[in-house]
Chains A and B, each alone.
Chain A
Amino acid sequence: MTFATYTITDTYYLVLAAMLFTIGAVGVLTRRNVLVMFMCVELMLNAVNLTFVAFAHTLNDVAGQVIVFFTLVVAAAEVAVGLAIIVVIFRRRRHATADDLAALKG
């Protein structure tokens, strides 16, 4: 099969999304910088978005694309509040690593 006629099925997109999600999950678990952990969460959200769009394409139903909008809104809200929390912790502790988040314990 030549490259020009090679067909990309939805399984390709699902496997790619699985890889992106796994890289994001491993990043959240291994990195200590809270900002980078946040970026890894964004990676995971993007992998899920890709899955939604792939299924919307496969099932030919645009609702999957609409759900991605809601994911975007949740991601924006999460980033706004999360970064505000990081800034507050940084101002009190002069660091912002995952270990400093133990300060959130009552």
Chain B
Amino acid sequence: MIAFVFFLAAAAALAGALGVVLARNPVHSALFLVMTLISVAVLFLLQDAELLAAVQVIVYASAIVVLFLFVIMLLGVDREESTEDPIPYQRPATFALGLILLAELVFLSGHVWATGQHTARGVPVTGGGFGNNVERIARVLFTDFLWTFEITAVLLVIAVVGAVVLARRSGQRHDADDEVLA
């Protein structure tokens, strides 16, 4: 049963990923992205990451993709993407490099580096009487990773302020904007 769910979710994730890359229309790309994200959420569930599966659906598949769709609608979707490349051998080179990258990653996945013995000393994912998944994550997030957690708050503030500043400048008239830059 687990194997069936895994292969189903994996196939959906790969199909969605290929759809993102191959779809002509950016809206279709965004919807294929949702397919991949939800499939990955299912894979999270299979690996005892219940909270992350929920967050994946709520934050990624809803908030971030809605942001993408919003910008697509704002910019217009009927624009054709030019297919000629400034560098003529770009596409074959990309596929060659992609194959090499995949071979490397697959090699590493089966290597002792990934599958050999490791020691972990933190809060375990299952067992050990640490409560449910949310309690375990909270315990680690607010003790070992507290400093990182605070830094992410700063990062988010920087991102919000940056986005607001960028959007505000472009909201003014274009010629006035050009004068400032000139």
Contact = CB atoms under 8 A, between A and B. Distances in A.
B81 A97 contact: yes
B20 A84 contact: no
A104 interface: no
A19 B108 CA distance: 13
Interface of A: 3-4, 6-8, 10-27, 29-33, 35-36, 38-40, 42-43, 46, 49-50, 53-54, 56-63, 65-66, 68-70, 72-81, 83-88, 90-92, 95-97, 99
A30 B124 contact: no
Interface in B95-146: 95, 97-98, 101-102, 105-106, 108-110, 114-115, 118, 120-127, 133, 136-137, 139-141, 144-145
Contacts of A62: 122-125, 133, 136-137, 139-140
Nearest to B86: A99
A50 B156 CA distance: 23
A43 B36 contact: yes
A18 B105 contact: yes
Contacts of B109: 11, 14-15, 18
A45 to B, nearest CB: 9
What does DSSP make chain A's interface, helix, strand, loop or mixed? Answer: helix
Contacts of B163: 80-81, 83-84
Given A16-B14, A35-B72, A66 B114 contact: no
Nearest to A76: B64
B170 A73 contact: no
Nearest to B63: A76
A82 to B, nearest CB: 9
A3 B3 contact: yes
Contact of A11 (B3, B114, B120, B139): B114
A29 B148 CA distance: 31
B123 A6 contact: no
B26 A30 contact: no
A81 B40 contact: no
Contacts of A95: 79
A32 B94 contact: no
Contact of B18 (A10, A23, A60): A23
Contacts of B110: 11, 15
Interface in B1-47: 1-4, 6, 10, 13-14, 17-18, 20-21, 23, 26, 29-30, 33, 36-37, 40, 43-44, 46-47
